[in-house]
Structure 1
Amino acid sequence: MLSLFFIMCFVKKLIILFAVVMLFVASFSCSYKQQQILFESKNASDSLKNKAFILNVYRIKPQDLLQIRNLQNKKYIVDEAVTGKSSSTSADNGQTYLVGADSTVALPIIGHVKVAGLTREQAAGHIENLYRKELKDPIIELKIINLKVTLLGEVKNQGVYNLIKDQTSLIELIGEAGGLTEKAGSKQIKIIRGGMPAPEVIEVDLSDIRVFSDPRIVLQNNDIIYVAQNKRAIRSEKLQNVSAVLQPVITLLNTALIIYTLTR
């Protein structure tokens, strides 16, 4: 009977310990509801100072998809009166053309135009100049629609995002994804760049206002962005895992304690 008494005392202590653990976990969970602290001024010396970064402007490559339209004619990239054809593509979006292995894109009237190696703006200007010989005051709009990045981790909407706009920044992308979650670590953001053969990992701290002056946050095609959990979230998950293991045991022992108390 004495040993059973000690067992029951031990059970009571376990129940109290479990309650304390659960309160501790709850206190961490409540702390997540605080807003992320971003873009604070830092007194430390600028880590980016005296570093030379080259801002890479994307240049068109073979197999790229170009969306082209003539803003002077909403129906088609060129004047229907000249081609005698109608477009099957939405007037708002223009038509899509594939850049071939020979670095050219085949366009109505003007034929094959070499665009590989040019920036988006350069290609649009070049095509517009060629169409000026055939059309009245063409205004060519060109988009590269196959450029994309992958956003993973603690953001509201993970997924693959197209880079339609020139010089899209990491901050703009996170905003488009709905922002960071309550568990996100604003100092634990990584950009994986360069592909599988030689990936470069760029660490970004969004709590530092100087992030705006870092040209590396301008996204490039096929970048992978990962937003890790903050340290509090990791600790909380560990505590929750421990409580999940302890809870069935505590429940069983608590039941035994109740039975013992009733049968005394």
Structure 2
Amino acid sequence: MRLFLKYGLALGLLAMVLITLNSCGSRKNMVYLQPDSTQISTLYEQYIPKIQPNDILTIVVSAADPRVTAPFNPMSTLSTGSVSQGTDMALRPTYTVDNNGEIILPMLGKVKVAGLTRVEAIEKIRSELGQYIKDPGVNINFNNFRVSILGEVARPGSFIMPTERVTVLEALGMAGDLTIRGVRENVMLIREVDGQKTIHRLDLTKQNTLNSPYYYLAQNDVIYVEPNKAQINNSKLGSNTSVIISIAGLLITVISVLTR
């Protein structure tokens, strides 16, 4: 019986060592953007996010004389010196881009903004405001520039980005980075454009990812980090642990009775 227990303990320790070794990753699989001969040529201007239907935009009109902006900018008639910053932000008018890619602005009526960058939309609205206001100023911000991050990251969830200029690495940083069990060579990015979803793969271990058209994110992108094989195997082992322990206990009991 003692011999059996010794062998059982040795086998158990061996199994633990094998699981530990299996879960360890090499440097090649863990380090981001490993140096190679890739020439980095990514320009953000090539991949600036475009306004899409269902986007929510905050649009503020300004001018040398604030009174002339009242028809276009309700905030100007409501804000006073006693208004706090939080209240000031809440008073700023928002506009939802409809399915035709248009917003309805006071006095101007329908203005098509879908397919334009934020800067292009600003220039278009400024041009149309020119018939009412001399040298108008226009500020546009996305209210719903959201990115969802799922899978093997420290803090999965949806994140509202403070700016539309955000990279996949910055977004993963907001989620607490990948866990040691996340596959860095095959990160999935799901993007919807004009109602059609597409799937793209990024290898974060290679510098060439910096040249990818998907290195810069767009609103409503979804990033998924899949678990490595060791994590998948461990999850299978975990789900069967109680069964294995029960069977092992039964076998030990039977052997103990038979060897008395």
TM value normalised by structure 1: 0.70
Alignment of structure 1 residues 68-147 onto 2, 5 Å: 68-70=59-61, 78-79=69-70, 85-86=77-78, 90-92=87-89, 94-100=92-98, 103-132=101-130, 134-135=132-133, 138-147=136-145
Task: Show the counterpart of 2:202.
Answer: 204
**How far did residue 180 of structure 1 move?**
0.9
Give yes or no for contact 1:68–1:77 (8 Å, CA) kept in 2: no
Residue 165 and residue 111 in structure 1: after superposition, are their counterparts in 2 closer, same or farther (change >3 A)? same
Q: Distance in 2 between matches of 1:229 and 1:148?
A: 24
Contact 1:55 1:216 in 2 (8 A): no
Distance 1:251 1:239, change over 3 A: same
Q: CA RMSD in A?
A: 4.3
Paired residue type of 2:191: R
- What is the CA-CA distance between 1:237 and the residue it aligns to? 3.7
SS of residue in 2 equivalent to 1:113: strand
Q: Secondary structure at the residue paired with 1:207?
A: coil
SS state at 1:59 partner: coil
Give me the whole-angstrom Cα distance separating, in 2, the residues matched to 1:137 and 1:129: 9
For the 8 Å contact 1:70–1:77, the answer to whether it is kept is no
Residues in 1 aligned to 2:192 and 2:108: alpha-carbon distance in whole angstroms? 36
Return the letter of the residue paired with 2:88: A
State the 1:211 CA deviation: 1.4
Distance in 2, Cα, partners of 1:39 & 1:47: 12
Q: 204-213 vs 63-72, which deviates more?
A: 63-72
Question: Unaligned 5+ residue runs, structure 2?
Answer: none
Equivalent residue number for residue 184 of structure 2:
186
CA apart distance, 1:204: 1.2
Candidates 12, 18, 41, aligned match of 1:24: 18
Which one has the largest radius of gyration?
1
Q: Does 1:151 align with 2:146?
A: no
The alignment-based identity, stated in percent, is: 26
Give, in whole Å, the separation in 1 of the partners of 2:7 and 2:135.
Answer: 85
* Counterpart-to-counterpart distance in 1, 2:208 and 2:46: 17
Q: CA deviation at 1:68?
A: 1.3
Deviations 1:9-52 (A, max 9, x none): 667644542332134334556x47x9942111136xx5999xxx
Is the Cα–Cα contact under 8 Å of residues 187 and 204 in structure 1 kept in the other structure?
Answer: yes
Determine if contact 2:164/2:218 at 8 Å carries over to the other structure.
Answer: no
- The 1:109/1:257 distance shift into structure 2, 3 A limit, reads same
Residue 40 (structure 1) aligns with: 34
Choose 221-230 or 94-103, whichever is displaced more.
94-103
Aligned to 2:172: 174
Measure, in 2, the Cα distance between the counterparts of 1:238 and 1:132.
65
Gaps spanning 5+ residues in structure 1: where?
none
